[in-house]
Structure 1
Amino acid sequence: MSFNDIPGQTTAKRMLQNSLRRGKVSHAYIFSGPVGTGRKAMAFALAQAIYCKESEDDACGECLECRKVLHGNHPDIHLVEPDGATIKIDQIRTLQKEFAYKATASATKIYILVQAERMTTQAANSLLKFLEEPSSSVVAILITENGHALLPTIQSRAQWVSFTPMPRRDMMAALQQEGLPLTLIRPAVHLAAGLGAARELATASWFAEMRNVVLQLAKETYTRFPQAFMTIQQKLTKSELAEHLPTFYDLLTLWLKDMVQLCLLRREHLVYPDHSDWMEPLARTRDVREWIRLTGQAVELQKRLRSNANPQLLLERTMIAIQGGVICIR
């Protein structure tokens, strides 16, 4: 995989390629940023560039070393992911045993720790021993959503590479070129930090169904309120969508933000413009401050869902809260 195959992340690519050109690859990196920003892909792109026999600062994709990385069978790359909820000390000890041996196919061994912030304290302290005594023949890449969650001593011994969300406009343009429906692209790019994650949402059948349910419930709340409770039971809590309830709140929050925009007569950046025929008159029945308050309330209710609140009761309470707003004073 070439660095050019990863969309965006220009600063991260420049930093890594400069290190490759100067022959000063760090013994440890922290790839920190949101899910979907290409951190894991960048880790393997760096590994491929390090091993590549033809290119100085990227992977040619054709040499034997590049093909080994691409096919996932390079003997000197070791991937560590959480075993259950955490990365355990035994997993780090296994790596430490590998440290004692020289690389078999190349001059460098590379270790990639996915969700590194989920290391137990014992595992993190065990890893710290390697970071305190770096070997020129070993490169560690720690992938994390929040590098600040790692031990300060680990942070100080690794080079930080920040990953930022890809601009929505760029993601929308790329997904439109792929022929995906705009009705799904719009909410997907608001919920995803990178192109891959947005594509995964926009192509998922459950995501399309959840979007429809959110809009149906929003409309029923104001037109056929009792029916909304039946919809919650039939299409959310008693269906396969039940495992995606956090996304329900994400999509509902986007709808409420659309209502704020419509109340302010701003139509250019709506997430659900295909439903503006009934949303716009409804938006004007309330003061913009009420829509803003409801948006904040939806976010708070989502937090309670994450705290294991009863989903059915929480969803019903959400619809009651949205239905019981104040009359617009405009």
Structure 2
Amino acid sequence: MEWNTLAQRQPYVVKLLTNSLKKERLAHAYLFKGNKGTGKKKISLHLTKAYFCRVRKDSEPCGECPDCKRIDSGNHPDVHLVKPDGQSIKIEQIRQLQKEFSYLGLESKSKAYILEHAERMTNQAANSLLKFLEEPGQETIAILLTENPQQLLDTIRSRCQILTFAPQSQNELIEALTEKDYSNQLARTAAALTNDQAEAEEYLNDEWFVIARKNVLKLGEELFERPQRALLALHEYWNPHFKEKQQVEIGLDLLLIWYKDVFLTQLEEEHSIVYSDHQNILSVQALQSSQSRVRNQMLHILEAKRRLNANMNLQLLMEQLVLRLQEG
């Protein structure tokens, strides 16, 4: 993988890092923050290759020298990857890292370490790392990866150059998912719920989610075509499937997408709808409903989501929502 390829996803981050490499002005510590699936680890490894490669051209590592190949294979003696041991990164792991760095570099004077999920350090580990960051070696580079930078000590954040990784766009995510042989319809649905590829794949690999989508589409049709059956539909197939609070929340998000699709159809923006496999009924509903009615229906769902977080009875919540959606 080259910087040009990585720049397609993270142009700002790549430009800053390649400029620093060309000018030989890399920081001694970086904090890469961003959602899962934004390329933090890929870019950290490519940066490490560029840092160690002795025959790189401008900012691009050669990919063929012993340093590049060892980093690719994960066994470079002077590059250390630290991951949580169980739920956290423990002080013993940081001490071991410091011990490794006290030795002379086996291949060169340079050393690098990458901390995955840096926010999961215990307080002891974080304070130990802080001393390490305050007294960096002459040719040491540290890269901390995190999805939750606010959970890191302010003092650690202040000693790193912070780079923010942009989330994946919805279209990019749909393309990435369909390349992995997920159906376009399911990929579009998952991408409407999250811009995190790993989370999207969790949804798509879960048969519960596939059935949830079908049930929500069925309820959307019932509410429009046979509103008098909607309460019965809750007892037939909604309540048995959406049993827990988290499941109901996903169901409400999927139902909200239905009404957003109706609204987009009214605005003649059909290219943006998620449930394109139900475009016919969406078009009929868009014609027979006013925009203000559809807006109110979306507001009712958002209100139900708010009440859900207030620990309301799940069945009562859905019954009240269905009645409000029928009224418009």
Q: What's the TM-score, normalizing by structure 2?
A: 0.80
Change (3 A) 1:158 1:181: same
Tell me how far 1:63 sits from its aligned partner: 2.2
Aligned to 1:270: 273
Q: Is contact 2:301-2:321 (8 Å) kept?
A: no
Aligned to 2:295: 289
Change (3 A) 1:208 1:161: same
1:129 & 1:15 partners in 2: Cα distance?
27
Q: Trace 1:89-168 onto structure 2 (pairs within 5 A).
A: 89-168=91-170
Tell me how far 1:178 sits from its aligned partner: 6.9
Q: Is contact 2:190-2:204 (8 Å) kept?
A: no
Q: What's the TM-score, normalizing by structure 1?
A: 0.80
Give the gaps of 5 or more residues in structure 1: none
Aligned to 1:61: 63
Q: Is contact 1:180-1:202 (8 Å) kept?
A: no
Q: Trace 1:253-268 onto structure 2 (pairs within 5 A).
A: 253-262=256-265, 266-268=269-271
1:28 & 1:244 partners in 2: Cα distance?
41
Pick aligned residue for 1:186 from 185, 188, 195: 188
Q: Which SS does the other structure have where 2:45 is aligned?
A: helix
Q: Trace 1:154-233 onto structure 2 (pairs within 5 A).
A: 154-172=156-174, 180-193=182-195, 196-197=197-198, 200=201, 204=205, 206=207, 207-219=209-221, 222=227, 223-232=229-238
Give the gaps of 5 or more residues in structure 2: none
Identity rate of aligned residues, in percent? 36
1:218 & 1:326 partners in 2: Cα distance?
10
Once the two structures are superposed, residues 276-296 of structure 1 have per-residue CA deviations (whole angstroms, 9 ceiling, x without a partner) of 333454562871332231342
Amino acid at match of 1:70: D
Once the two structures are superposed, residues 96-139 of structure 1 have per-residue CA deviations (whole angstroms, 9 ceiling, x without a partner) of 22232233234322221122222233322221111111212321
1:168 & 1:320 partners in 2: Cα distance?
32
Q: Which SS does the other structure have where 1:225 is aligned?
A: helix
Q: Which SS does the other structure have where 2:302 is aligned?
A: helix
Aligned to 1:3: 3
Q: Is contact 1:116-1:150 (8 Å) kept?
A: yes
Q: Is contact 2:77-2:106 (8 Å) kept?
A: yes
Tell me how far 1:160 sits from its aligned partner: 0.9
Q: Which SS does the other structure have where 1:161 is aligned?
A: strand
Tell me how far 1:220 sits from its aligned partner: 5.0
1:250 & 1:36 partners in 2: Cα distance?
22
Q: Is contact 2:49-2:61 (8 Å) kept?
A: yes
Aligned to 1:25: 26
Q: Trace 1:71-82 onto structure 2 (pairs within 5 A).
A: 71-82=73-84
Tell me how far 1:328 sits from its aligned partner: 6.3
1:299 & 1:60 partners in 2: Cα distance?
52
Is the radius of gyration larger for structure 1 or structure 2? 2
Q: Which SS does the other structure have where 1:325 is aligned?
A: helix
